Every structure is written in structure tokens, then in C-alpha cells.
Amino acid sequence: MEKSEDQKSFDSEIYNTIELFVELKHFEKENGSVSLFSIKNNEKYFLSSSDISLNRQFLKFRIYPGRSYQIKTDNVCIKLAYLSGSNDIFERGIKYLFQNINFQKNTTVHFHPIKGWMNDPNGLCWFRGLYHMFFQYNPYDKIWDNMFWGHAVSRDLIHWIDLPVILFPQEELYHFSGIKGGAFSGSAVVTDEDNNFSEEKYQDQKYLWLFFTRHFGLKDEFAGTAQYQVVMRSTDGLTFGREIPIIRRPLKNINFDFRDPKVGFYNNDSNSISMNHSFWYMVIGSSVDISNEKKYNITDFDGHPSASINDNDILLNNNNLNVPSVLLFKSTDLNNWRYCGTLKKFYEYLGARSIECPDFFKLQNQWVLTASLMWWKDKSNRFQPVKWFVGNFNGKDFEQKETGLVDFGGNLYAMQSFEHHGERIAISWFSDWYLENYGYNKSLPFSGAMSFPRKLQLKDNILIQKPINQVYNLFNSFILYDDKNKNFDVLKELKLKKKI
């Protein structure tokens, strides 16, 4: 086969590393290669080379700041490239290379990647003076695939700085075409040196912990699929230690959908945060086979008692009756976890495959549970809505008082929240299930965006959401509906004051 070579030049500026996401042009026909050369006085000097045998591979080369280089590829396409490694990476961010993009990323008001696919927000937290947002990411294409974690930081939750990709799919996923997986969704917590809860005090913040799901299985997602929870820890918010598996499915009646750990801190004594009065909790989305139970009470869409069903009324997944559920785990050290049963079974949503991306937190002396309903359509034909539930939690049982929709529209999913300075802030993924925006806009190099950050509050046990104050500062006008003139043409009123 005729060689397919390409050469690209770049200057390293202040960076000491180049990171490349590459793909073979002719997979299964021949291997490829990527070579790095230094350019000095118009002379080219060979530095390093990597043979590419898998369909997709990630490469990282060390370089020197302030020099010129050239990348030569043979039978390889560079899907994403950037410079990383600098003393001021949190201020400057990475520098993208070789991008033929006809828009400016920093002029959009919703966070999105420069290219590729993005979905769930992950690991939202405030750590050492910066807000951190990780997210589900595929740098290779505008569709979902084996999952990476992207990473960005901000000082105001509006202006974001891109950082290097932090998590990668297992290498085995690229050896076989019939399997899928990677680093699925998760969350973050911040602790002091003794692993005690530390969300507010900058001087006490020692560790940033990431909890997430590893997925490995067949593309049809049946027998043999494995999902388990892992943890990793960082002292700088940029580099992390090794992954440590911590939780596997505790019972056989728990479905293989067993993912998206959200970790929080429970303190039953407001005057103490010692572990004698408190514990770490983790909620995980799943579904539970209840076919051995005799009778199941169900409720209507608003959570009110409606009816009951017997074993033979609804049978799903090989004659198992699976109820979407949120599972509860507890720990005193963030490494060793104990299964404590189901926090909530959603009998009213029989037919939903699973709960995804649950969140659970205390807000104004009440407890709020949010859950994304996988493969569910409600009576208004919303696909995969997100629901909230307000109630009491005594450290073991959740007693629901009220429930409602997180968002009236049908394109918001996987909401995750965190607390900072006493405020509960949430960000969600614009899922675009109906391909109304990014899915049909072929001119854009990316698919997926994040919602405005929202401040969460309770009023009469109802979840209230408002954009954070920084969002209002972006616009000259913020009129969503003019009752006097019955005007729904809001786009004319929504005008940016200036570029982001």
C-alpha cells in the first residue's frame, strides 16, 4: 500500500510536553508511526518515534520550551493535539495545535470542548482557589464512544481554562472491536491531611479525591458486562495517583447497570465533624430485581400512592422485574465501603432501565435526591427526564416529602452539584436527545455543552433553581417571557454585553 505521510510543525513556547490522540487511517491493513523532530537552523534532528498498531492510541512526548519541532505521521491521523506542562498551567491552560476551527471557543456562554463529544459533568468541586469540572469526553469524534475524562478549571464558573485529559479508556478496549467502556461518570470530594471533610478552608485542603465507574463489556451490554467503582487522589488537582478499585456489585439482584458514584459527607451533629458523629456516603445509580418480592406499592408521576402490582404484571430483562434504584454505601475513610441497601426504589418508573448520575445532598435542613431516568419517557413525551425528591434522611432511610422535574425541557441530563461558601451549585449536560442543535450542526467540531451553573434553594420543600449571579452579568437583558406583550421571542432580548 502506498505510504500516507504528513508533516506538521509547531513551536513549544513555554510548554514541555505535547500530547497526541491519533488514529490509524487504514486499520487492520498496516501499522503506522508518529515521529518527533527538533528543528534548529533549518535542520531537522530526529528525537523519538512511536509505532502505532492499535486503531486509536494516545501519545505523549517530552519537549523543551522555546524550541521548534515537527511531527511526522505515516498512516496516522492526528485527531487532537495540544501542548501541556507549564508552571502556570492553571492560568494559561493547554494550547491546542493543528486545529482548523472556524469559531472562537471563548465567545460562547456555555462550556463545551473545542472538538469531539462531551456528556455528563463529573467531579465538580472547589479546590485550592479554583472550581474544577471534569466531564465525559471522546476526543476522536462527535459521537459517544469509549470514555475519557476532560478537565477544566475556573475562578468564576463562567470563564473556563482547558487542562489535559485526565482519564483514559482501558487499553484493552482498542484490541477488540466488539467491546466498549472506559472511565464513566463520577464525583469529587476534598479533604484535609487526615482525610476529614474540608470544603471551605483553602489552608486545610490537602487532597482532591475522584470516584468514578470503570466499564468493560460487550457493545450489546448484556452478559459479561462489568461496572465497578474506583478512587484516585491528587494533591495538586492536576496529577493523580493510581486507581484503586473499591466497590463491586454487592448482590446478585443488582443489575449490571451499577455506576456514577456521588460521594458526600453526613454529619448528624452540627457542632462536630469528627468521624464519631459522621461518615462519608456514596449513592450509585442502578436497578434492582425485585421478582422475589410478593407485592410492590407504586405511585403515580407525582409520587402519590396509586396502585399495587404482583409478580406477573411487568416482567423485564429475562423475566426479572427490575426497578430503577439508588444504592447507598458508607465509609469512614473513603477507601473501605459498606453496602447499606437501597436509598430509594423508583417503583413509579418501572420500565426505566436504570437510574443514572444520582446526587444526594443536604439543603436548608432537608435532603435532596436527584436522579436521571435512563430510557424513560414521561406523559409529556420527555425522554430521560431528571427528577428531584425532597425529604428527610436520618443517616439510613430517606423519607420523601415532595418531588418534581429538575427541568421543564427535554434536553437536560446528569445534573451534578457541589457546595461552596454555603451555596449549592449545579451544572447539567445539554443532552440534545432530539438532535435539534449540535447533532444537526455539522459546521461545529463538537457535540454537547453544559448548562449555566444554577444555585439551588428550597421553598416550601420545592426545589428552586436560578442562574448564579455571574450569569446575569453577561447580558444586557435577561427577559424570558414578556407577560404584557405575550412575547416569547426571547432571542432578541438575550444579547451579550461583551465577548466571554
Residues belonging to the active site: 120
* CA distances for 436 relative to 375, 432, 441, 442, angstroms: 19, 6, 9, 12
For 22-68, the DSSP string reads: EEESSTTT--EEEEEEEEETTEEEEEEEEEE-SSEEEEEEE--TT-E
499 Cβ neighbours under 8 A, 6+ residues apart: 104, 106, 107
- What is the DSSP-derived secondary structure letter of residue 91? H
User: Beta strands of 144-225 (E only): which ranges?
Assistant: 148-154, 160-167, 179-191, 207-218
Who contacts 352 (Cβ-Cβ below 8 Å, separation ≥6)? 287, 324, 346, 373, 374, 375, 376
* Residue 235: φ, ψ to 5°: -105, -10
102 Cβ partners below 8 Å, 6+ apart? 443
- Residue-wise burial string across 336-347, b where 16 or more C-beta atoms lie within 10 A, e elsewhere: ebebbebbbbbb
How far is residue 434's CA from residue 364's CA, in Å, rounded to a whole number? 36
Task: For 458, list phi and psi in degrees, rounded to 5.
Answer: -115, 140
User: Which residue shows C-alpha cell 504528513?
Assistant: 6
Please report, for residues 119, 127, 134, 341, 464, the alpha-carbon distance to residue 283 in angstroms, rounded to integers and kept in the order given. Answer: 20, 22, 19, 10, 22
Q: How far apart, in Å, are the Cα atoms of 423 and each of 8, 13, 474? A: 47, 40, 20
Q: What is the Cα–Cα distance from 495 to 475, expressed in whole angstroms?
A: 6
Cell numbers representing residue 479 in the block: 427577559
Task: Look at residues 40, 8, 3, 10 and name the one whose alpha carbon lies nearest to residue 22.
Answer: 8
**Cα distance between residue 288 and residue 330, in whole Å:** 19
